[in-house]
Amino acid sequence: EVQLVESGGGLVQPGGSLKLSCAASGFTFRTHWMHWVRQAPGQGLVWVSRISGDGSTTSNADSVKGRFTISRDNAKNTLYLQMNSLRAEDTAVYYCARDWNDGLDMWGQGTMVTVSS
Amino acid sequence: DIQMTQSPSSLSASVRDRVTITCRASQSIGNYLNWYQQKPGKAPKLLIYAASSLQSGAPSRFSGSGSGTDFTLTISSLQPEDFASYYCQQSYSTPQTFGQGTKLEIK
């Protein structure tokens, strides 16, 4: 089955760290750019980060630069988002998504990250 | 950064109505424009990519048009399952950006 499954979300204190994972299956993972997109409760979609198929090229939103790092392990078919120095405004559902023809054609179910003391 | 402005922010319509949602980019993005549908508690689904190409599995009542800075998503005849939120997204440059969304509600 073709799918993306996120994990690693949870409750973390401000200033803390969390690492999200996104396990891919059913397609050739290494040939696709991959993205992270987040959605705060009751709000719209916000693009966070993307990485090339071989992992050599990454881009991040200004709001997470210097704090979040996207990476991937193509041998494990897994995408990651390392989140450091977390803030209350990072509270959101985090989705991983597959890039296809410059659109995001497959999404995971999302994992909730709550930053609160 | 490229700003994406959707209108309207919310819309009430009836089954079988024809509905149009617009998206405007703050600078030209060619045809690097995608449309997504999202239902409460669910992940978004890609409907239209490259401004006018229908994603596999998306119903043919959905169509997209436009290029440059002005784009539209049209639903030719609303069905009950179409009541949801819709987002445009530019993939022309990073940071990629989404519109603020349009919530389509039943009248």
Sign of CA dihedral A114, A110, B26, B103: negative
Q: Cβ contacts of residue A103 below 8 Å, gap of 6+? A: B34, B46, B49, B50, B55, B89, B91
Query: Would you call B90 an interface residue with chain A, using a CB distance cutoff of 8 Å?
Result: no
Give the chain B residue nearest A46 (alpha carbons).
B98
What is the tens place of the pLDDT at every residue in A40-54?
A: 999 999 999 999 999
Per-residue pLDDT of chain B (107 residues; tens, 9 = 90+): 999 999 999 999 999 999 999 999 999 999 999 999 999 999 999 999 999 999 999 999 999 999 999 999 999 999 999 999 999 999 999 999 999 999 999 88
- Window 41-70 of B, Cβ < 8 Å to A: 43-46, 49-50, 53, 55
SS3 B41: coil
